[in-house]
A and B are shown apart, each in its own frame.
Chain A
């Protein structure tokens, strides 16, 4: 496996206007750096509104501009390690149309509404195929049927003629995945692919994604707020809070030794199977309103580790490599004093055998 990242988000910042006349803008994403390596699954976790989706959408230039604006940063895309990377933020619309769906595919949270109600499943998968591959309609129909069979849909030929409203939620998400995979993308952006589904379907869909990832050797950026999903599926984890990455490392490092108090809070607020809880622990307070971010560390008003340390409320901690291959952004975490500055990238991939069996 080579060590060039497939996708490298470098200091990305995206802002949106708060007021009608756009005199004040907030940064939904503020200096995010991430790397995804070939065949790796990177999980991005965080509360609603912390900038997870915007980071993923920015990779496909899908953030609507206006009102949104890319303030800084670059997104380096290296589909072929032998060639120099391209900056996705500088690509023209026409170049982006070739990349979207062809090289980078995306699946969305809402399988119920992500399919056009007036077209059959077959029409929609075929459209995605015909946009990126130079084959005729008959061949495209066969490819579509194969894609449906691959995501575990029985009788794919007859399903192709059905409309989205005739399918259940799990089936629709399978169709979305089939659509995304029909062109064999190198990277799949999965924006909370299982949030709208019930638990058993969730497990099936994740298992499906894992199997297809192994077979096709693609990378997955998995956006979720379910830590169980992360533990089962991810190789590396990026924890986001208020538009910043606050902790980054391999799934083992982050789960065994969470450094940032926010990450620790997330783990503490999860129920443990078999253990009796009277009340789950919570992180006090709410996600700060993006229009009024606190100065200093964005997490400090909610942080239980702040011991009248003025540094937390005045200076924002940068994301530093606290221990080898493990980054965190907190003045108080162990080892932060002699941490080094380095671009966050974890090449770790778990061996496939450790993944939970079907």
Chain B
């Protein structure tokens, strides 16, 4: 017996193996508990960061919508540095940057979240149906995705924008107050256009995952117990994809926000005087030239506020996605 003992790392380990069932279950329970707290900590921290940025932006909408374009055209109020009276400073036209950044955040976040949701709904639906149906339906649906991939997305956004704008503007004019209607119509068109072109990657990823999951034995077992095709897709295939869906959603939100700012920069997206973090940063980016010129004053607040908030938002979105992925995967222990 003694000759065998050194093979085991310790006697204690050996006895643990002997009482496998009990040891295993309590062990699993312990690991599960510690996993939850660790994940909760990360999830809560990132959510709190996002909330700290998003909540003021959204809650201040009633005030920021009235003050974002309050111009004071005299030298005394234009381009003043952050102070107690103007916490974020003012811009070239004497507008308070605080209100512009708050409204810009609401617009950017709104466009990012809404167009990511649109992209996820279309992409998951399209990819799941194509992957599960297979055969000819799959081929036709995925070639359609390939064709859309081939077209430059800016062109598509512009086309969708141009097609939707004349439809939405009169429709919104009857619902919203006259001074807000054009802005709301503009933002809505933009988020539909961005969402409408961002679902392609999602569809490809989901289709690939569905192809591999539908061959799993538990799918066959589910079919053998009488689950119909729709039940298999929604109750057995998609819940296994929550990881990739969450991860790609959190990747799509920042991409959508960046696309929005890019389009705004080109003059297709959110147009002045409406602010977004994208076009605020674009206005502020000229201050970088001042850095290289000695003697000229750098108006840092024009670029630091929108960029910092944008960066923090994107970071916390990524952390939330990460934590959610682990959270939804019961196999990821520890």
In the assembled complex, the CB of A180 is this many whole angstroms from the nearest CB of chain B, namely 7
In the assembled complex, the CB of A16 is this many whole angstroms from the nearest CB of chain B, namely 15
Q: B220, A62: Cβ atoms under 8 Å?
A: yes
Q: For residues 315 through 334 of chain B, which have their beta carbon under 8 Å from a beta carbon of chain A?
A: 328-331
Q: Given A114-B217, A117-B330, are A100 and B240 also a contact pair (CB < 8 Å)? A: no
Q: B217's contact among A98, A113, A131, by CB below 8 Å, is which?
A: A113
Say yes or no for B2: interface residue by CB 8 A criterion. no
Measured in the bound complex, the distance between the Cα atoms of B228 and A163 in whole Å is 23
Say yes or no for B226: interface residue by CB 8 A criterion. yes
Q: How large is the interface on A (under 10, 10 to 19, 20 to 34, 35 or more residues)?
A: 20 to 34
Chain B residues near A60: list those with CB within 8 A. 224
Measured in the bound complex, the distance between the Cα atoms of B239 and A327 in whole Å is 49
In the assembled complex, the CB of A107 is this many whole angstroms from the nearest CB of chain B, namely 8
Say yes or no for A293: interface residue by CB 8 A criterion. no
Contact with A along B211-252 (1 / 0, CB 8 A): 000001110111111111100000110011010000000000
In the assembled complex, the CB of B329 is this many whole angstroms from the nearest CB of chain A, namely 8
Measured in the bound complex, the distance between the Cα atoms of B236 and A113 in whole Å is 13
Q: For residues 317 through 338 of chain A, which have their beta carbon under 8 Å from a beta carbon of chain B?
A: none
Measured in the bound complex, the distance between the Cα atoms of B24 and A168 in whole Å is 10
Q: B226, A166: Cβ atoms under 8 Å?
A: no
Q: A166, B228: Cβ atoms under 8 Å?
A: no
Q: A105, B239: Cβ atoms under 8 Å?
A: no
Count of A-B residue pairs with CB < 8 Å: 76
Contact with A along B132-168 (1 / 0, CB 8 A): 0001000000000000000000000000000000000
Q: A113, B216: Cβ atoms under 8 Å?
A: yes
Contact with B along A144-160 (1 / 0, CB 8 A): 00000000000000000
Which residue of chain B has its CB nearest to the CB of A56?
Answer: B224
Chain B residues near A114: list those with CB within 8 A. 217-218, 220-221
Q: How large is the interface on B (under 10, 10 to 19, 20 to 34, 35 or more residues)?
A: 20 to 34
Say yes or no for A76: interface residue by CB 8 A criterion. no
Q: A110's contact among B217, B226, B227, by CB below 8 Å, is which?
A: B217
Q: Given A106-B224, A128-B225, are A163 and B217 also a contact pair (CB < 8 Å)? A: no
Which residue of chain B has its CB nearest to the CB of A189?
Answer: B224
Q: For residues 189 through 213 of chain B, which have their beta carbon under 8 Å from a beta carbon of chain A?
A: none
Q: A93, B228: Cβ atoms under 8 Å?
A: yes
Measured in the bound complex, the distance between the Cα atoms of B224 and A176 in whole Å is 11
Say yes or no for B41: interface residue by CB 8 A criterion. no
Q: A118, B330: Cβ atoms under 8 Å?
A: yes
In the assembled complex, the CB of B82 is this many whole angstroms from the nearest CB of chain A, namely 49
Say yes or no for A226: interface residue by CB 8 A criterion. no
Which residue of chain B has its CB nearest to the CB of A129?
Answer: B225
Measured in the bound complex, the distance between the Cα atoms of B21 and A168 in whole Å is 9
Contact with B along A93-125 (1 / 0, CB 8 A): 110011111100110101001111111000000
Q: A180, B225: Cβ atoms under 8 Å?
A: yes
Q: A131, B225: Cβ atoms under 8 Å?
A: yes
Which residue of chain B has its CB nearest to the CB of A165?
Answer: B331
In the assembled complex, the CB of B182 is this many whole angstroms from the nearest CB of chain A, namely 46
Chain B residues near A128: list those with CB within 8 A. 225-226
Q: Given A117-B240, A117-B330, A163-B330, are A127 and B227 also a contact pair (CB < 8 Å)? A: yes
Q: A118, B242: Cβ atoms under 8 Å?
A: yes
**Known contacts A100-B225, A118-B329, A131-B226, then 9 further A-B pairs from the complex at CB < 8 Å, ordered by chain A residue:** A93-B229, A100-B223, A105-B224, A113-B216, A114-B217, A118-B239, A127-B225, A131-B225, A163-B330
Please list 10 pairs of residues, one from A and one from B, whose beta carbons are closer than 8 Å in the complex, sorted by A's number: A60-B224, A93-B229, A97-B228, A100-B224, A106-B221, A113-B218, A114-B220, A117-B331, A118-B240, A166-B28
Top 5 closest A-B pairs, CB basis?
A101-B225, A101-B226, A100-B226, A106-B224, A113-B217
Q: Measuring CB to CB, which residues of chain A are less than 8 angstroms from any residue of chain B?
A: 60, 62, 66, 93-94, 97-102, 105-106, 108, 110, 113-119, 127-128, 131-132, 163, 165-166, 168, 176, 179-180
